[in-house]
């Protein structure tokens, strides 16, 4: 019934109550981020990034520092013992001997669960390949709740690469659990996998204009070019772009979110609109990750 000392590898590991507790405490941190330097004083967070992710790594490190913890780690697996043939399990056991909590980013699905199984200290999954990235989901939920209040009945359109985008796969079930409605605006050929689409009340596909007109949230994701068909890539006819013109024409009242980095799927003319929330969303990574670290490390298990 408590997160203290527990690993966080999947969003499904959290009860609804635990999700709300994390978001609530994040609100407190967001209101006064600089008063917490004694909360995790003397604790060490080990950030083990076997693939680069500057945004995730730096926001976790910022969260640790704002709570007074210290940080060790690496930003890229290329210079670690794994290149000498060491197993993830061995590396995990060693790092667990240094830090009080392990933040793990790894290219292989299931890596976080494997690490948590052998680690003496809690493991927080910061993305494991096509698997999960639970704190990204939490900061997405936080941003929606912070802007829209309770998520019951809120209507969210997920857009872009819904087939391969790990972010969306974790977000959709979480939104359903909290009572939100979800529709999909997939890039051509990149619709939600059946197991995600069939979750909860199901996810209908709608055209972009209709989503903009009817939703409270447009959650845009980047389409990796190599995953588009040759025609798409060449003609661009199916490339989804959210721009100021679309939002005006559709009379949209939606907030616009994006896990970043974006390339061109949100036009820069949206940046100055009040509905643009993606940089705020990025900033929310800090209080939300502070809250996760605090819940896990704050009280002794």
Active site residue 133: yes
User: Which of the ranges 11-19, 39-47, 195-203, 229-237 carries the binding residues for its own copies, by CB under 8 A?
Assistant: 39-47
State the Cα–Cα distance between residues 47 and 73, nearest whole angstrom: 5
Span from 68-76, 104-112, 179-187, 235-243 in contact with its own copies (CB under 8 A): 68-76
Q: Out of 11, 215, 286, 293, which residue is the one contacting its own copies (CB under 8 A)?
A: 286
Q: Does 73 bind its own copies (CB under 8 A)?
A: yes
Distances 246 to 97, 119, 210, 235 between C-alpha atoms, Å:
53, 49, 10, 20
Contact with its own copies (CB under 8 A) among 282, 288, 293, 296: 282
The answer to the question of residue 81 lying near its own copies (CB under 8 A) is yes
Size of residue set near its own copies by CB under 8 A: 47
Planar angle of CA 258, 212, 181, nearest 5 degrees? 75
Q: What is the DSSP string of 200-259?
A: TT--EE--HHHHHHH-SEEEE-PPPGGGS-HHHHHH-TT---B-HHHHHHTT---EEE--
Decide if residue 12 touches its own copies (CB under 8 A): no
Decide whether 253 or 279 has the Cβ nearer to its own copies. Answer: 279
Per CB under 8 A, 76 contacts its own copies: yes
Residue 204 near residue 143, CB atoms below 8 Å: no
Burial of 150 (0-12, 13-18, 19+ CB in 10 A): exposed
Q: Does residue 5 bind its own copies (CB under 8 A)?
A: no
Q: Which of 2, 15, 16, 97 binds its own copies (CB under 8 A)?
A: 97
Does residue 114 have an active-site annotation?
no
Contact between 113 and its own copies by CB under 8 A: the answer reads no
Does 70 engage in binding with its own copies (CB under 8 A)?
yes
Examine residue 20 and tell whether it contacts its own copies (CB under 8 A): no
Torsions phi, psi of 120, nearest 5? -80, -15
> 185: which strand partners?
159
Q: H/E element holding 156?
A: strand 155-160
Using the rule CB under 8 A, is 293 a contact of its own copies?
no
User: Can you give the binding site for its own copies, defined by CB under 8 A?
Assistant: 34, 37, 41-44, 46, 52, 54-55, 58-59, 61-62, 65-66, 70, 72-76, 79-81, 84-86, 90-91, 93-95, 97-99, 222, 260-263, 279-280, 282-283, 285-286
Residues labelled catalytic: 55-56, 84, 105, 133
């Amino acid at each position: 019934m408590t997160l203290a000392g527990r690993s966080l590898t999947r969003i499904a590991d959290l009860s609804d109550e635990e999700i709300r507790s994390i978001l609530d405490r994040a609100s407190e941190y967001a209101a006064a981020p600089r008063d917490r330097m004694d909360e995790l004083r003397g604790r060490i967070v080990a950030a083990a990034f076997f693939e680069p992710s500057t945004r995730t790594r730096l926001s976790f490190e910022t969260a640790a520092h704002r709570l007074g913890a210290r940080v060790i780690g690496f930003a890229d697996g290329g210079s670690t013992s794994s290149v000498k043939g060491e197993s993830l399990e061995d590396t995990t056991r060693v790092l667990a001997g240094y830090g009080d909590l392990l933040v793990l980013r790894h290219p292989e699905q299931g890596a976080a669960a494997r690490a948590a199984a052998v680690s003496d200290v809690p493991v927080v999954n910061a993305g494991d390949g096509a698997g999960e990235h639970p704190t990204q989901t939490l900061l997405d939920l936080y941003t929606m709740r912070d802007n829209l209040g309770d998520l019951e009945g809120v209507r969210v359109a997920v857009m872009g690469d819904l087939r391969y985008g790990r972010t969306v796969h974790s977000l959709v079930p979480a939104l359903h659990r909290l009572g939100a409605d979800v529709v999909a605006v997939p890039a051509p050929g990149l619709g939600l996998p059946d197991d995600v689409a069939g979750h909860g009340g199901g996810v209908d596909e709608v055209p972009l204009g209709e989503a903009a007109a009817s939703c409270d949230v447009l959650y845009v994701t980047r389409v990796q070019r190599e995953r588009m068909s040759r025609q798409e890539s060449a003609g661009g006819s199916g490339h989804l772009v959210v721009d100021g013109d679309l939002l005006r024409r559709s009379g949209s009242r939606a907030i616009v979110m994006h896990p970043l980095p974006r390339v061109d799927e949100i036009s820069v003319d949206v940046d100055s609109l009040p509905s643009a929330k993606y940089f705020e969303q990025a900033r929310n990574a800090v209080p939300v990750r502070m809250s996760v670290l605090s819940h896990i490390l704050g009280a002794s298990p």
